[in-house]
Structure 1
Amino acid sequence: MDDNELYPIGDVARRTGLSVSAIRFYADAGIVAPAARTGARYRLYDVQAIARLEFVRTLRELGASLEDIRQLLAGETTLRDLAAAHLALVERQALRLRARRAVLRTIVKQHTPAEQVSLMHKLVSMSDDDRDRLIDEFWYEISDGLDVHPAFVDRLRSMRPNLPAEPTTEQLEAWIELADLVQDDAFRHSVREYLHDTYSTAQGRLMTTPPVPDSIEKGATIMRDAQAAYQAGLPADSPQAQDIARRYVASLVELTGRQDTTEFRRQVAANLLVAKDLHRQALQRRAAHIAARFTDTHGRYLSLVATINGATREDNVSVPVPYEWMATALNAPGCRSEPSTGLHP
Structure 2
Amino acid sequence: MMYPIGDVARRTGLSVSAIRFYADAGVVEPSGHTGAGYRLYDIEAVARLEMVRTLRELGAGLAEIRRLLDGRTTLRELASAHLDVVEREASRLRARRAVLRALVRGPGGVEQAALVHRLVSLSDEERERLVEEFWADVSEGLEENPRFVADLNAVAPRLPDEPTPEQLDAWIELATLVSDPEVRRAVREDLNARFADGVGQLLVSPAAWESYARAEPLLRDAVAAQQAGVDPDSACGRELGERYLRWLGGMFGTAFEGVGSRREVAEGLSRLEPEVLADMEREARGHADGDPYERYRYLVQVVEGTLEAHHAELAGYAAAFTWLARALDPGGVGGRG
| Distance verdict in 2 for CA 1:280–1:166, change over 3 Å | closer
**How much identity, in percent, do the aligned residues show?**
48
1:276 aligns with 2:274: no
1:161 aligns with 2:182: no
**Deviation by residue 1:295-317 (Cα, 9 ceiling, x = unmatched):** 62211111112222331424236
Instruction: Report the equivalent of 1:341.
Output: none
52-61 or 138-147, which deviates more: 138-147
Q: Say which of 313, 323, 326 aligns to 2:324.
A: 326
The CA RMSD measured in Å over matched residues stands at 3.4
Q: Say which of 80, 86, 92 aligns to 1:90.
A: 86
Instruction: Report the equivalent of 2:247.
Output: 251
Q: Say which of 194, 198, 204 aligns to 2:200.
A: 204
- Displacement of 1:231 in angstroms is 5.1
1:300 aligns with 2:295: yes
Q: Which amino acid aligns with 1:326?
A: L
Q: Say which of 309, 313, 322 aligns to 2:304.
A: 309
- Displacement of 1:148 in angstroms is 4.2
Task: Decide which structure has greater helix share.
Answer: 2
Instruction: Report the equivalent of 2:174.
Output: 178
Write the distance in 1 (CA, Å) between the matches of 2:193 and 2:273. 22
Write the distance in 2 (CA, Å) between the matches of 1:25 and 1:55. 15
Instruction: Report the equivalent of 1:190.
Output: 186
Instruction: Report the equivalent of 1:48.
Output: 44
Instruction: Report the equivalent of 1:128.
Output: 124
Write the distance in 1 (CA, Å) between the matches of 2:167 and 2:233. 42
Count the aligned residue pairs. 321
TM-score by length of 1: 0.79
**Residue pair 2:142, 2:192 contacting (<8 A) in 1 also:** yes
Write the distance in 2 (CA, Å) between the matches of 1:68 and 1:312. 45
Q: Secondary structure of 1:313's partner?
A: helix
- Displacement of 1:180 in angstroms is 0.5
1:143 aligns with 2:161: no
**Residue pair 1:266, 1:331 contacting (<8 A) in 2 also:** no
126-135 or 60-69, which deviates more: 126-135
Write the distance in 1 (CA, Å) between the matches of 2:178 and 2:23. 59
**Residue pair 2:270, 2:325 contacting (<8 A) in 1 also:** no
| Distance verdict in 2 for CA 1:87–1:266, change over 3 Å | farther
**Residue pair 1:159, 1:305 contacting (<8 A) in 2 also:** yes
The unaligned stretches of length 5 or more in structure 2 are 331-337
Q: Which amino acid aligns with 1:75?
A: G
Write the distance in 1 (CA, Å) between the matches of 2:100 and 2:177. 18
Write the distance in 2 (CA, Å) between the matches of 1:243 and 1:81. 62
- Displacement of 1:87 in angstroms is 1.8
- Displacement of 1:179 in angstroms is 0.8
Write the distance in 2 (CA, Å) between the matches of 1:194 and 1:83. 53
The equivalences for 1:223-234 within 5 A come to: 223=219, 226=222, 229-230=225-226, 233-234=229-230
**Residue pair 1:161, 1:309 contacting (<8 A) in 2 also:** yes
Q: Which amino acid aligns with 2:44?
A: Q
1:17 aligns with 2:20: no
| Distance verdict in 2 for CA 1:242–1:32, change over 3 Å | farther
- Displacement of 1:254 in angstroms is 3.7
Write the distance in 2 (CA, Å) between the matches of 1:62 and 1:243. 65
Q: Secondary structure of 1:75's partner?
A: coil
Write the distance in 1 (CA, Å) between the matches of 2:253 and 2:137. 36
Write the distance in 1 (CA, Å) between the matches of 2:26 and 2:66. 8
| Distance verdict in 2 for CA 1:16–1:266, change over 3 Å | farther
